[in-house]
Amino acid sequence: MKLWLKYVLGIILGIASVFIIPLDSPQAAAILDFLTEIFTRFGRYALLPVLFFGAGIAVFKLRDGGFMALSAFWIFVTLVLSSAILAALGTVGAILVKLPPLPISAERSISEVSISVKDLVMRVFPQSPFSALLEGTFLLPCFVFGGAVGGACATDKTASKQAVGVLESFSCVAYSMLCFFSDMMTIGIMALSCRWAINFSSVLKAGVYMPLIVMLTVNLLLVAFVLYPLLLRLVCHDPRPYKVLYASLCPFLTGFFTGDTNLTLLLSMRHGKDSLGIRRRMNAVSFPIYSIFARGGSALVTSICFVTILRTYSYLEIGFSTTLWIGVMSFLLSFVLCSFSTGGPFIALTIMCTMYGRGFASGFLLLRPASAIICAYAAGLDALSAMFGSYIIAVKTGTIEHRATKQFI
C-alpha cells in the first residue's frame, strides 16, 4: 500500500473518531492531548540524526563534486522567489477580494510578541557546537554544525577518509530510522487529525471565519494546481509537472493536519528521495533549508489575515503604500519564523499588528480562535513549496534520477 494512502486512511479514522470521543469529558480531552504530544515527539525523533549526518555527507559530496556554488545559487533563487510570489499573491488577492469584517472583540493584548534576530543568530552558534544537537524544534543549529563538519572533511580528503566513511554509514542508518518513524506515524496521524477536526469544528460553529477559510482554500488550490505546476513547466520544461504534486500528497497532508513544519520535513525528505529520485547530496540540503526558511505559505496566510483585520476596523480603502508594506513585511517576517515549527503565521500576524500600531495592535486577537486552522493552511503551502522547489533545484543541478509515478512510495 502506498504511504500516502496509509496517511489518508489514518486521517479519515482520526476525523471519524471525533463522532465517537466524548468531547465534553475532561478525561478524554486529557488522553487526546497526551497522544497528540507523544506522537508529535515521536515524529520528530529521527530528525536531528538525519539532519546532522545527512548535512555532513551532503556538503562533503557537493564540495567534492564542485556543485556547492551552483546548488547555493538555485536554493537561494527558488527560496526567495517562492516566498515573494506567495506573499504577493496573498496581499493582492486579499486587496481585490473584500472579505466581510469580523466581529470586533473587546479583548485587549496584555503582552507584546517579538522575534530577536540577534537571539536567533546566537542560538545558531551556541557556546559549544554540541549544544546544537540539543535543540528540540529549532533545526538550523544542528544543520549548520553538520554542514560545517562535512565542509571541513572536504578540505583534506586524505585525512578525513575515515571520518567521511563514518558520516556516510551513520547517514544511511539515520535515513533508515527516518523511514521507520515515518511509517509508524501513520498511526500517530490519527490522533493529530482528530485534534485538527476538533479545532475545525469549533471554527465552523463560530461561522464568522468561513469567508476567510474559503479564500485560503481557493489560494491553496490555485498554488497547488496552477501556479507551481506552471512554474515547473516553464523553468524545467517538465511535461508532467503534476507528478511532483502527486509526490507531495503525504508531506502536504502531514503539514495541513498537524501544522508542524518539522513533522512535514520528515515526509518531505523521504518522498524527495524515494519518490522523486532526488539524490541524497541534494535531498539532505534543500529540504531542511526549505523547511527552516521557505515559509511562503506563512507569508500568504499572514498577508490575507492582516488585510482582513484592517478592513474589520476601518472601512477606508487600503492605499498602495499600505499594500506594499503588508506584502514586504509578510515576506520578510517569513524568514525569521525558523525557530517556530508550529504557530509561526499567527506569531508573524501578531508582530505585524504591533508594528502597524494605529489602534490595530490587538487586532490579531480577532483570529486567535481560528489560529490552528490558519497555521494548517500555511504548513500545507510550505510543504508544497519545499517539494516543488527542491525538485527544481535537483533538476537544475543534475542531482536527480527521474522515476515513474508507479515507483513512488
- pTM listed for this prediction: 0.91
Q: CA-to-CA distance for 258 and 342, rounded, in angstroms? A: 9
Distance (Å) of CA 184 to CA 23, 50, 216, 238, 372: 26, 17, 30, 33, 24
The answer to whether 23 and 198 have CB atoms below 8 angstroms apart is yes
Maximum Cα–Cα distance across the chain: 69
* Grid cell for residue 144: 549548520
* Listed residue (374, 388, 89) closest to 256, CA to CA: 374
Where do the H-state alpha helices sit in 97-160?
117-124, 140-155
Q: How far apart are CA 182 and CA 270, in angstroms?
A: 8
Distance from C-alpha of 173 to C-alpha of 49, rounded to nearest angstrom: 9
What contacts 278, CB < 8 A, 6 or more positions away? 272, 286, 390, 391, 394, 399, 400
Q: How far apart are CA 190 and CA 73, in angstroms?
A: 39
Residue closest to 265 by CA, chosen among 103, 104, 68, 44: 44
Euclidean distance between CA atoms 393 and 146, whole angstroms: 21
For cell 508594528, what's the residue?
A: 355
Q: Which residues have a Cβ under 8 Å from the Cβ of 168 and sit 6 or more positions away? A: 57
pLDDT at residue 19, as a whole number:
83
Cβ-based burial of 80 (10 A; exposed 0-12, middle 13-18, buried ≥19): middle
**Cβ pair 299, 87 in contact under 8 A:** yes
- C-alpha 72/C-alpha 52 separation (Å) is 18
pLDDT digits (tens, 9 = 90+) for 277-318: 999 889 999 999 998 888 899 999 999 999 999 888 877 788
Residue spans of the chain under pLDDT 50: none
Three cell numbers at 262?
Answer: 518539522
Q: For the chain, how many residues are written?
A: 409
pLDDT of residue 225: 94
Q: For residue 199, how many C-alpha atoms fall within 13 Å in the half-sphere facing its CB? A: 21
Distance from the first to the final alpha carbon of the chain: 8
What are the pLDDT digits (tens) for 28-80? 888 888 888 888 888 888 888 999 999 999 999 888 888 888 999 999 999 99
